[in-house]
Amino acid sequence: MRGLENRNSHMKYALFSLSIVLTGWWVSNPYYLQLLTFIGIYTVLALGLNMLMGYAGQISLGHAAFYGIGAYTTAIATVHWNWPPWLGLLLALGLTAVIAFLIALPMLKLTGYYLGMGTLGFGMIFYILFREWTGFTGGTSGLVGIPPLSIGALTLDTGSGYFYLVWGIVVVCFVICERIVNSRVGRALRAIHDSERAAAAMGVDTSRLKVWVFVLSAVFASLAGFLYAHLVTFISPDSFDFIVSIRIVTMVVIGGMASIWGSLLGASVLTFLPDWLHVFSDYEMVVYGLILMVVMIFLPQGFTRGMLDIYERARSRYSRPSTSPQG
Amino acid sequence: MNGLEADTRVLQPLLKVEAVSKSFGGIQALYNVSFEVAAGHIYAVIGPNGAGKTTLFNVITGIYTPEEGGVFYEQQPIRGRSVHQLVRRGIARTFQNVELFDSMTVLENVLVGQHVRTRCGFWGAICRWPWVKREEQHAQQKAVELLKFVGLEDVGGHRSADLPFGWQRFLEIARALAAEPHLLLLDEPASGLNAVETEQLAALLQQIRARGVTLLLVEHDMSLTMGISDKILVLNQGKKLAEGTPREIQADDAVIDAYLGRE
């Protein structure tokens, strides 16, 4: 059974990778290529938050802060200190992990609305930091001249090069998350979501685990920030404000809580949607909010989970458990 | 009776509750309650609603700290230990209202039960070292065995929320056993069960004892405890009313007055 499961998941990733390669080869319009690259970056963001929110059940309304820390760290390292970008990546991830850890220690003692408010708070603090620490971050005018990424002699500034890099990272992140979710820690995370009391009674060190999944989630956001900074080569505080945090949460919710592939869906919908909604011009936000409401009312678990639930319910109607316990 | 006393003198008690008092605001939930649970016994705490059973349960599992007195497990105080540390040391529990992990399958619930007996962390999960795979395989086998033990092996792939209530109770016991406890605490295990299921539960509890697990159950329902317990403690309004074998309890005047006689 296990072997079959593994083969299935290999198959899935082979198909996924193939479709990425085909897409990259087929799409030549640089605008769409960049849009697709953005989807990849948002997928990494949503995936990270989904580990925290969807699986462990802990909300964060300040994830743009970590996205920003990733972007600003690599930008400052490469622009101000002339570091090579890959070293900037290491610094970004490391710094984010440390900051996330220090924030998580007191923050994750909160639950529910209070955790939401708390994370909202640190999101605000970091946004102000990005905006006001002018000497370092360039303030409201932002940081210009972030170098493009290169691997060896290959510079990834053309649309398709960066597209492949980002989506390669997405695949790796998918594998990482899927492995975590289906492991002992992943089950413990889901257990915390279902019943924190029962999880503790099973010996799960809930507060420690929540801190670590928060760090993991922040590191994903930081990675996304790094990819963003080197893609657009210019960053300003507005890319990391409160609305962005909300957008990440929305991606997770729309795509589906506790669904790895749902993150991809959520990121895609939220990237394409504003593009399509331009038709509605001034009413764009109204339509946007309406879509959110409809999804929440009819598919509160998000698209993927909602569809799966409908499917499973239909299936289990025909195969109810029919044996009795104790023989 | 003499044999029993000799037994407890030779063996140190697995659990010792010593003069525990606990109050909430002005209400004295527990007053100077002491008792000992010998290893290998089925020990029952009974009493009417509001007698302090649940408070006692929460004191033993480390959720409440008593104002006076202490609880000793394997000769060591449990004060200051977090819940997950106690599980590691061999205390597992079930809940009065069944608290399963509803988004997970039956099998996964039992796998979570093995949390303290396995050790794969984030890195192990990501890298999937050979030892991680072995550990996972072993855990799955053990989970299947435990499901077989409680008679739920056929529904391992179903979501636990989809099981009928009685089965959920058995699943919860399997999940607790997965932690390989020395002491298993059951909070009203018979509540919500029908007569047939209660009998199945009684048989199961005896099988669990036969595996070397000591059981402490808090019960409202007398019928289950009278049949299987080695010793019974009767609580009334936070105080110890009587303690003894089921036969002694049934003959105890104070118990009859306060509890049995009401029926």
Q: Say if the Cβ atoms of A190 and B104 lie within 8 Å.
A: yes
Q: With beta carbons under 8 A apart, name residues in chain B contacting A190.
A: 101, 103-104, 108
Residue A277 has pLDDT above 80, yes or no: no
The first and second tokens of residue B87, run together, are 């599980």
Q: With beta carbons under 8 A apart, name residues in chain A contacting B99.
A: 195, 197-198, 201
Alpha-carbon span A189 to A182, nearest angstrom: 10
Strand partners of residue A154: A151
Each residue of B137-188: pLDDT tens digit? Answer: 999 999 999 999 999 999 999 999 999 999 999 999 999 999 999 999 999 9
The first and second tokens of residue A184, run together, are 């002992």
| pLDDT average, residue stretch B47-62 | 86
Alpha-carbon span A158 to B58, nearest angstrom: 63
Q: Where are the domains of chain A?
A: 2-240
At A72, the amino acid letter reads: Y
Between A141 and B149, the more confident residue is B149
Residue A309 has pLDDT above 50, yes or no: yes
CB burial class (10 A; 0-12, 13-18, 19+) of residue B171? buried
Q: Say if the Cβ atoms of B116 and A203 lie within 8 Å.
A: yes
Each residue of B239-252: pLDDT tens digit? Answer: 999 999 999 988 88
Q: Say if the Cβ atoms of A326 and B200 lie within 8 Å.
A: yes
H or E, element range at B34: strand B27-37
Q: Say if the Cβ atoms of A186 and B95 lie within 8 Å.
A: no
Mutation target to probe the A interface, by most A beta carbons within 10 A, among B57, B61, B83 is: B83
Q: Are A272 and A35 in contact (CB under 8 A)?
A: yes
A185 → closest Cβ in B120, B162, B197 = B120
Q: Say if the Cβ atoms of B95 and A2 lie within 8 Å.
A: no
A176 → closest Cβ in B114, B126, B140 = B126
The first and second tokens of residue B199, run together, are 């009998």
Per-residue pLDDT at A294: 82
Each residue of A169-206: pLDDT tens digit? Answer: 999 999 999 999 999 999 999 999 999 999 999 999 99
Closest C-alpha among B134, B121, B103 to residue A205: B121
- Which chain A residue's Cα is nearest to B158? A321
Per-residue pLDDT at B1: 43
- Which chain A residue's Cα is nearest to B103? A194
Per-residue pLDDT at A156: 80
Each residue of A105-129: pLDDT tens digit? Answer: 998 888 888 999 999 999 999 999 9
Each residue of A235-276: pLDDT tens digit? Answer: 999 999 988 998 899 889 888 888 888 899 999 988 888 777
Each residue of A38-73: pLDDT tens digit? Answer: 999 999 999 999 999 999 999 999 999 999 999 999
| pLDDT average, residue stretch B191-209 | 93
The first and second tokens of residue B148, run together, are 């077989």
Cα dihedral value A66, A103, A258, B98, nearest 10: 180
Q: Are A215 and A53 in contact (CB under 8 A)?
A: no
| N-term to C-term CA, chain B | 29
| pLDDT average, residue stretch B31-59 | 90
Per-residue pLDDT at A324: 46
| pLDDT average, residue stretch B34-40 | 94
Per-residue pLDDT at A306: 73
Q: With beta carbons under 8 A apart, name residues in chain B contacting A206.
A: 84
- Compute the nearest-CA separation of A46 from chain B (Å): 19
C-alpha gyration radius of chain B: 19
Q: Say if the Cβ atoms of B125 and A183 lie within 8 Å.
A: yes
Q: Say if the Cβ atoms of A198 and B122 lie within 8 Å.
A: no
Residue A321 has pLDDT above 60, yes or no: no
* β-pair type (B76-77, B27-37): unpaired
Residue A314 has pLDDT above 70, yes or no: yes
| pLDDT average, residue stretch B133-139 | 95
B113 → closest Cβ in A200, A202, A258 = A202
Residue B9 has pLDDT above 50, yes or no: no
- Which chain A residue's Cα is nearest to B171? A325
Per-residue pLDDT at A151: 84
- Compute the nearest-CA separation of A6 from chain B (Å): 12
A179 → closest Cβ in B121, B128, B170 = B128
The full 3-state SS of chain A, as one line of letters, equals CHHHHHHHHHHHHHHHHHHHHHHHHHCCCHHHHHHHHHHHHHHHHHHHHHHHHHHCCCCCCCCHHHHHHHHHHHHHHHHCCCCCHHHHHHHHHHHHHHHHHHHHHHHCCCCHHHHHHHHHHHHHHHHHHHHHCHHHHCHHHCEECCCCCEECCEECCCHHHHHHHHHHHHHHHHHHHHHHHCCHHHHHHHHHHHCHHHHHHCCCCHHHHHHHHHHHHHHHHHHHHHHHHHHHCEECHHHHCHHHHHHHHHHHHHHCCCCHHHHHHHHHHHHHHHHHHHHHHHHHHHHHHHHHHHHHHHCCCHHHHHHHHHHHHHHHCCCCCCCCCCC
A242-246, A318-322, B101-105, B170-174: segment of lowest average pLDDT = A318-322
Interacting residues of A252 by C-beta distance below 8 A, sequence separation 6+: A46, A49, A50, A53, A54, A262, A263, A266, A302
Per-residue pLDDT at A5: 59
The first and second tokens of residue A255, run together, are 């795509």
Neighbours of B254 (CB within 10 A): 13
- Which chain B residue's Cα is nearest to A319? B158
| Residue B3 banded pLDDT, cuts 50, 70, 90 | very low
B200 → closest Cβ in A198, A216, A325 = A325
| Residue B80 banded pLDDT, cuts 50, 70, 90 | confident
Residue B4 has pLDDT above 70, yes or no: no
A58-62, A197-201, A220-224, B46-50: segment of lowest average pLDDT = B46-50
Each residue of B15-28: pLDDT tens digit? Answer: 999 999 999 888 88
Q: With beta carbons under 8 A apart, name residues in chain A contacting B61.
A: 201
Q: Say if the Cβ atoms of A258 and B108 lie within 8 Å.
A: no
Per-residue pLDDT at B82: 85
Alpha-carbon span A219 to A44, nearest angstrom: 10
Each residue of A66-107: pLDDT tens digit? Answer: 999 999 999 999 999 999 999 999 999 999 999 999 999 998
Mutation target to probe the A interface, by most A beta carbons within 10 A, among B88, B94, B126 is: B126
- Compute the nearest-CA separation of B183 from chain A (Å): 13
